[in-house]
Structure 1
Amino acid sequence: MHKVSIKPEYIERVKRRSGRKHTVTSLEGPKTALIVVDMQLYFVEAGQPSECPVARDIVPNINLLAAATRRAGGSVIWIQTHSGPDSVEHWSAYYERMTDEGTKKRVEGMKPGGSGFDLWPGLDVKEEDPIIPKTRYSAFIPSPSKLEEELRRREIDTVLITGVSTCTCCESTARDAMMLNFRTMMISDANAAPDDSLHNATLNQFYLQFGDVQDTQQVLTLLNECTIVAAAV
């Protein structure tokens, strides 16, 4: 698991600006979505081309968050990167930065049925959970992703970002969520990156400028509180 470190001076800047350490202090269950980004074999399984070992460590936290989100009446949405025969042409700015061998591994591994395509088997994916495809870093880039459409349809106003990699697809998705006017939180111990420095660089910048950063236990407390409130109504 990553050793998370938010700079004290950033915490003080957020407190001066907003009057509190965390901008998200409560959740409304039915308006909350847990978004799990790219927890696929290609990034999680040992020996895969883009293996991120910490991704295996965060699986229990993702499952805890998923269960709590469902109990609160919220939505759990899984994001799955796709590749195909048109990938190189449609995202040439990405693939031109790779060798021919790397491109082949990526396209073959991430296509439906490819060795890295499936979601990690230890994840608690339910039949009712949407699985939304994407082809770019951000899950909000349309064609084929319909994430924004799905969130608007469900009247979601708050998104909790988890998955892999903190500093690439998770960060891109989280920033776009905030820019589309969703309250956005990155869960510090339910995201994974290649190393602590990249993980913390993303979390610090996101916390300072884009949204909130809390850990799994903090978010479980917020989700449990709104579950109790809903049960009492």
Structure 2
Amino acid sequence: MDISHATALVTGANRGIGRALAVELLARGAKVYAAARRPETVDLPGVEVLALDVTDPAAVADAARAAADVDLLVNNAGITTGATLLGDLDGVRAELDVNFWGTLSMVRAFAPVLAANGGGAVVNIASALSWFAFPGAGAYAVSKAANWNMSNALRLELAGQGTLVTSVHLGAADTDMMKDYDGPKIDPAEVARRTLDGVAAGDLEVVADEWSAMIKASLAKDPREFYGQFLGN
């Protein structure tokens, strides 16, 4: 895909990885719709701002009508509540509502738009946590695992209209969401660069950092090797 001629819509474009993606898209010559639940917080000159809550079907439908020229849909909007599966069920539902159902709602609404504009591409921002679970992040891990395999399924369902589906995986990024995390963090600008390089190359997955690559490689091994550190054996 030629990013310089793309018309992109980025969800959650007001901060973090979403904002970095919008900045990088503009730098590469794309037209950008920057969507956010609070559009007044989008501070990027050169974008077209859209008010969008991905959990609101009416707002999603409005966005698809307003941005009918889109050929690159970037599903970046996501949340983490810290919910565990045996804890706050409202938190579990909230994460799935945004990270899975909201993303799927966007793809369902924009699939005909992409088809009408030549096929284009869908980018779903997933996580290294698509491939493992970590204590205290059970709901997030489940939602991102669903997001990842949704990308796999959508890739097959959209192949007939020529739409690329790219799943992006990373560990911790230096964003507001991870401000309390004390560990290595990737620069959101680097995530944006690697993501768009991957889309331009037609990649099905972008593994944005070494941590995610290590986690993915561990899936071929006995899970005791990974989870033993948490299980005390």
Q: TM-score by structure 2 length?
A: 0.34
More helix by share: 2
**TM-score normalized with structure 1 length:** 0.34
